[in-house]
Amino acid sequence: MSRCRRASHAGSWYSRNGSELNHQLGTWLNNVADIHVHRPARAIIGPHAGYSYCGECGGYAYKQIDPTKTKRIFILGPSHHISFQGCALTSQTQYETPLYNLTIDQQIYSELNSTGEFETINLDVDEDEHSVEMQLPYIAKVMESRQGQFTIVPVLVGSLNPEKEAKYGRIFSQYLADPENFFVISSDFCHWGQRFHYTPYDKSQGEIWQSIEHLDGMAMQAIESMDPTQFSEYLRKYKNTICGRRPIGVLLNAISALRQQNGHNFELKFIKYAQSSHCKTMRDSSVSYASAVLTLK
């Protein structure tokens, strides 16, 4: 029996009108110059805010997907509303988008459940969360030529410690090794301002927004190193409010496992960075967005 999660954030975070949304996404994708396309891509990091803020930045990430080589898309998003210490799967069989519905891969879900390391979230929790949903319209758009010929594997990532990030990284590494699989890691970057209870300011960098950019730049360098320990140490030192830090940690550990097991030669590169606004006073606030691509050399 088909169970479909509605597009609960459509109409507020992005357009509910399919033709309007299709045009917006197409415009952002078409505006990404070929020099910013890096293939064969195996994973991306992309933002999950309202499209009016991060849609353009997200286009740089989604431009990397080659639909002709992709049969399955894993989506790892952080949990914003419930706290748990593992990873969770949805109880639904399809996810709705204003473009067309996406089918969840029940075979992969069965394999993940067989590990004993995944729980199931109920529909209310699923529909409250936006980190996975905000990736779905872009997935539908870039994969439109393969509609009905690919599946998705949505995973909600909880408050993992480094040991659990490594455990889930090992689980997902076998899927990252398959060239027909693609990984989407959902994350915004620095949430700065009093409303986020995070206001560090290094005046040596210039204005506040430049200090934020420098702070995020150090995070991106740590992530590009593909060293989970280096990224964890950065987070411990600076406490940067990167909401997808746990899904990113899982990806880094999956990469690390593959490099150790099979000598895979990966490159992880950030290709776009943006901020919702430029903070100039301590009363301001902003959220940062970044897009990255993982390629296999």
- Domain hosting 91: range is 4-296
* pTM, two decimal places: 0.97
Pair of tokens at residue 289: 């967005």
Q: What's the domain count of the chain?
A: 1
What is residue 261's predicted lDDT score, i.e. its pLDDT? 85
Print pLDDT tens along the chain (297 aa).
789 999 999 999 999 999 999 999 999 999 999 989 998 999 999 999 999 999 999 999 999 999 999 999 999 999 999 999 999 999 999 999 999 999 999 999 999 999 999 999 999 999 999 999 999 999 999 999 999 999 999 999 999 999 999 999 999 999 999 999 999 999 999 999 999 999 999 999 999 999 999 999 999 999 999 999 999 999 999 999 999 999 999 999 999 999 988 777 899 999 999 999 999 999 999 999 999 999 988
Which CATH number characterizes residue 210's domain? 3.40.830.10
Environment class of residue 198 by beta-carbon count within 10 Å: exposed (0-12), middle (13-18) or buried (19+)?
middle
Question: What whole-number distance in Å separates Cα of residue 160 and Cα of residue 118?
Answer: 13
Q: In what order do the strands lie in the sheet with 4-5?
A: 4-5, 94-95, 102-103
Measured distance CA(95)–CA(136) in Å, rounded: 8
Q: What digits encode the pLDDT tens for the residues 79-128? A: 999 999 999 999 999 999 999 999 999 999 999 999 999 999 999 999 99
